[in-house]
Amino acid sequence: MTLSKRLALLGAQSAITLAKPRGLGSSLGLLDRRPFPYRQFSELTKANGRRAFLVDTLALVRSLEAQGVPSKQAEAITSAITEVLNDSLENVSESFVSKAEMQKIEMIQDSNLSKFKSEVKSSQEHHFTVLQRETEKLRGDIEKMRSELRYEIDKVTAGQRLDLNLERGKFMR
């Protein structure tokens, strides 16, 4: 079980009062003058309303004090650390997309893709039809030119035969 889950369970199972950090120094339970001491955790509130607890600030302050850091400095350091962690996690969470948003975007892209495919297919069919018409027109033009060429060739051939026969007739006389 990860540390954050254990901290969340610890907060949920015990009667610990949770406070949201408000800034340097004043965000720690040690400075709050309530009648009962409490632990404060750095927290991140998720979109579903659940909170993930990241840092046990009281334990961190006590650890720093045990290492010889004055109480006020330990509280300030802890507050700064929790603020940076919370800000970093907020920035990171803003850059992610929820599963529902991702599915919505995916559906939109699928729709756009299928619309594009149908447009491409329609365009291809149209161009294919146009090409078929042009091809048939060109075939007709080619056939017409062939028949005109045959006619001209036959005409020239007939004229040459006539001239040849006339020349033969002159020599035979």
pLDDT-wise least confident of 2-11, 57-66, 72-81, 90-99? 2-11
60, 78 in Cβ contact below 8 A? yes
Classify residue 109: in a domain, yes or no. no
Domain that holds residue 160: 119-173
Show the beta-strand stretches assigned E in 4-71: 41-45, 51-56
In a shared domain, residues 23 and 82: yes
Classify residue 89: in a domain, yes or no. yes
Classify residue 31: in a domain, yes or no. yes
The DSSP string of 49-108 is S-EEEEEEHHHHHHHHHHTT--HHHHHHHHHHHHHHHHHHHHHHHHHS--HHHHHHHHHH
Give tens-digit pLDDT for 67-120.
999 999 999 998 888 888 888 888 887 788 888 999 999 999 999 999 999 999
41, 7 in Cβ contact below 8 A? yes
In a shared domain, residues 140 and 80: no
Tally the domains of the chain.
Answer: 2
Classify residue 113: in a domain, yes or no. no
- pLDDT score recorded for residue 47: 56
User: pTM score > 0.75 for this model?
Assistant: no
In a shared domain, residues 152 and 73: no
Reading the block at residue 114, the tokens are: 């299928």
- pLDDT score recorded for residue 72: 92
Show the beta-strand stretches assigned E in the chain: 41-45, 51-56
- pLDDT score recorded for residue 52: 57
Residue 14's SS3 state is coil
In a shared domain, residues 34 and 72: yes
In a shared domain, residues 90 and 124: no
Place of tokens 């607890």: 53
Give tens-digit pLDDT for 110-135.
999 999 999 999 999 999 999 999 99
Residue ending a domain, choose from 96, 127, 147:
96
| Residues contacting 77, CB < 8 A, separation 6+ | 64, 69
Q: Which residue has the higher pLDDT, 3 or 124?
A: 124
d(CA 112, CA 117): 9
In a shared domain, residues 89 and 145: no
52, 44 in Cβ contact below 8 A? yes
